[in-house]
Amino acid sequence: MVSFAGSVVSPSFLNICNTSSGPSSSSSSSCSYKNTFLPNSCNLEKPFLVRPLWNRKTVCACVAPPRDYKAADSDRFSTSRFNVRFLSFEESAKLENVSLLREPEEESDVLIECRNVCKSFGDKHILRGVSFKIRHGEAVGIIGPSGTGKSTILKIMAGLLAPDKGEVLIRGKLRNGLVSDEEISGLRIGLVFQSAALFDSLTVRENVGFLLYENSTMPEDQIAHLVTETLAAVGLKEVEDRLPSELSGGMKKRVALARSIIFDTTKDVVEPEVLLYDEPTAGLDPIASTVVEDLIRSVHVTGEDALGKPEKIASYVVVTHQHSTIKRAVDRLIFLYDGKVVWQGMTHEFSTSTNPIVRQFASGSLDGPIKY
């Protein structure tokens, strides 16, 4: 059975977990964790030790710039707005065609698919046929003007809202309603809400370990140890006993991130996970944003099993308005406007797109098809 922890929808993270399988009897001490060094996001000179959060085998993880990031890119993204160099139509079409050709065709890679999703609130038709796919291992950004339905599509993907029309497929399996009503296994989906949404009356330890205290049979001291480890992985130390009100905004976001990546280490099988972040850097100063962006990258652990196949890779989707987050934390973009996907492409293609909506959005111009 799939359930939300305590049927609570207010915390920043809702993890869909298969409670029927339950934790296995194997203890975490029998797990052969291999350690991975990640550069400390706060001080890149000093490495700190974390264990891979998604599996128990060796993985390579690093706080990395976007895969396609080159030093030259910094010129394009160096101002507070995208510094757009408009190409000729032919140049741009060529680039966009290249991107289309690059699109991987493996359907087995698709973890989440939205097909023609429609959603209205009263007489407001917010989503009017949204279709896209999230593949294994992808880092995807959803962008678009305010009120265009970005958070709504995230909640639909997480199974917190049901579409009025259209379909959501999880690993090819049709989800008919809300995720809490259904049998879904094989994929964990976590949603990190915009506001961090920690429980005010719970300590950081209780917030981060919430799901495990509620849903697992792990002993409390083991959960506490895991919480401390996970907090260290997001660069927080000795905050376990604090209340959310005693944290800064950036720290709260990191606690929310820790809550989204903690998992029951006593389970034999850890399902791959897709994390959905709703504006994770909103309201943060530029340096705190960089810390969070790098954390998002760093928990996107990829690895290969003994057969050379990727395993337990967390894909993630970030809804954002922040250019730094687009540049640093995602590889592919989906542009929503007027209830539809009007453009998709790699992040570096965004600034060269000839799509008039994308051009206006990238330049921040008041002139163009987007009306406020």
Ligand X SMILES: Nc1ncnc2c1ncn2[C@@H]1O[C@H](COP(=O)(O)OP(=O)(O)OP(=O)(O)O)[C@@H](O)[C@H]1O
Report whether 316 contacts 275 (CB < 8 A): yes
The one among 93, 121, 183, 368 contacting ligand X by CB under 6 A:
121
CB of 151 to ligand X, least distance (A): 3
CB of 156 to ligand X, least distance (A): 10
CB of 200 to ligand X, least distance (A): 22
Instruction: Please say which residue, 223 or 326, places its beta carbon nearer to ligand X.
Output: 326
Rounded Cα distance between 74 and 329, Å, is 14
Query: Containing H/E element for 324?
Result: helix 323-329
Instruction: Please say which residue, 61 or 143, places its beta carbon nearer to ligand X.
Output: 143
Report whether 259 contacts 14 (CB < 8 A): no
Instruction: Please say which residue, 16 or 319, places its beta carbon nearer to ligand X.
Output: 319
Listed ranges 146-154, 173-181, 248-256, 266-274: which one lies at the site for ligand X (CB under 6 A): 146-154
Instruction: Please say which residue, 50 or 192, places its beta carbon nearer to ligand X.
Output: 192
Interface mask toward ligand X for 148-187; x: CB under 6 A: xxxxx-----------------------------------
Q: 275: which strand partners? A: 190, 316
CB of 254 to ligand X, least distance (A): 21
Instruction: Please write down the long-range contacts of 81-87, taking CB distance under 8 Å and 24 or more positions apart.
Output: 81/323, 81/362, 81/363, 81/364, 82/323, 82/350, 82/351, 82/362, 82/363, 83/351, 84/351, 84/352, 84/359, 84/362, 84/363, 85/351, 85/352, 86/352, 86/354, 86/359, 87/352, 87/354
Structure tokens of 78? 């160096």
Question: By CB under 6 A, how many residues form the interface with ligand X?
Answer: 10
CB of 157 to ligand X, least distance (A): 12
Residues 126-145 that bind ligand X (CB under 6 A): 126
Q: Provide DSSP, 121-134.
A: ETTEEEEEEEEEEE
* 146 in contact with ligand X (CB under 6 A): yes
Rounded Cα distance between 329 and 315, Å, is 12
CB of 122 to ligand X, least distance (A): 7
Contact residues for ligand X (CB under 6 A)? 121, 124, 126, 146-152
